[in-house]
Structure 1
Amino acid sequence: MPRDSAEVQVRPGVESDLEALTDIYNHYVHETAITFDTAAFSPEERRPWLLSHPEDGPYRLMVATQPAPTGNSQESQEILGYATSSPFRAKPAYATSVEVSVYLRPDAGRRGIGTLLYKALFEALAGEDVHRAYAGIAQPNEASARLHERFGFRYVGTYREVGRKFDRYWDVSWYEKDL
């Protein structure tokens, strides 16, 4: 169980984080409609995703960690969650737009970790040639909507029944933020 949020540090993601990041993401694949992926990933399958988020540029991966109960070295850090900025769409004219997201370990919610991650992500993006950030939020997800609104995102519309998972259709509300 996560402890005091004062112990939480945010840093760029690195390749040694891959297994923990994959485990976090797979929880959402199996248990929620927050992602529309329907099959779990192996760490090797997720490696291209991780490598597409370098330490600089518009596509970032920020990771929240805290010391593991057994020690304080880098090797004994627990990963609590991550935030990313990724390409919004593949076409060149979209290059100055990013899609952002936050995923937390299931026991790491309600501690302000998503806020810490987004704060670090948007600070990292401040010097980049990025004009807008977009977030698609599968509905219902009031906590995610509140997080995005705290960071200045505004609601721009909803795609109705755009994804099918767990034998039902889900809406996705879209939010945007000027950068």
Structure 2
Amino acid sequence: MNNTPKFLLVSLFTLALTPSVSASIFEANEFSGHRVGGGYSNTDLILDNRALDWGDGIKLEYGYDINQIVGINASYQNNNGSKHGIDLDGSTLKVDSDIGYTFQFEEWSVKPYGAVGLARVNEKASYDGYSDSFKEISLMGGMGVRANLDMGLYTDLRYDFFNVDHQDQDQLSLTVGYRF
């Protein structure tokens, strides 16, 4: 029996509840704020325990740090490439919550974190005049580390993984942006 709809419902509920619960437990402080950034993304398809390059692209993201532990994120990543005679074109839209701890230093901070959320994948592969495509929503997990300078600049190195169309995919991204 497929439990994916139940997991999606529970994940959406948890994601929606996280900011309100966190905000009531922890008061807003210097760690709260909006983030906007862009950067590089690479997508791999995992088949038979081997990573196949599924294309490079850009990443655009918006995030809000609720406190020094919890943040919420929305991002868009695309991947394009041509491998072994196959033209690849895809995009991923993600909504997630990151949970970690921000370590404050003199003029900067760093936050290692884990993330959980949803990924909506839209992929198209074209070869020899034929094309195949799919759209799917999946639970996703991830981990990363975000460094913030007190002047507002930040950088985020992140690894996400999810399963779509009976295939595992993972994405590695490096984002640079501004926190305000």
> Larger strand proportion, structure 1 or 2?
2
Give the structure with the higher percent helix: 1
TM-score > 0.5 by shorter chain = no
| TM-score for the superposition, normalised by structure 1 | 0.28
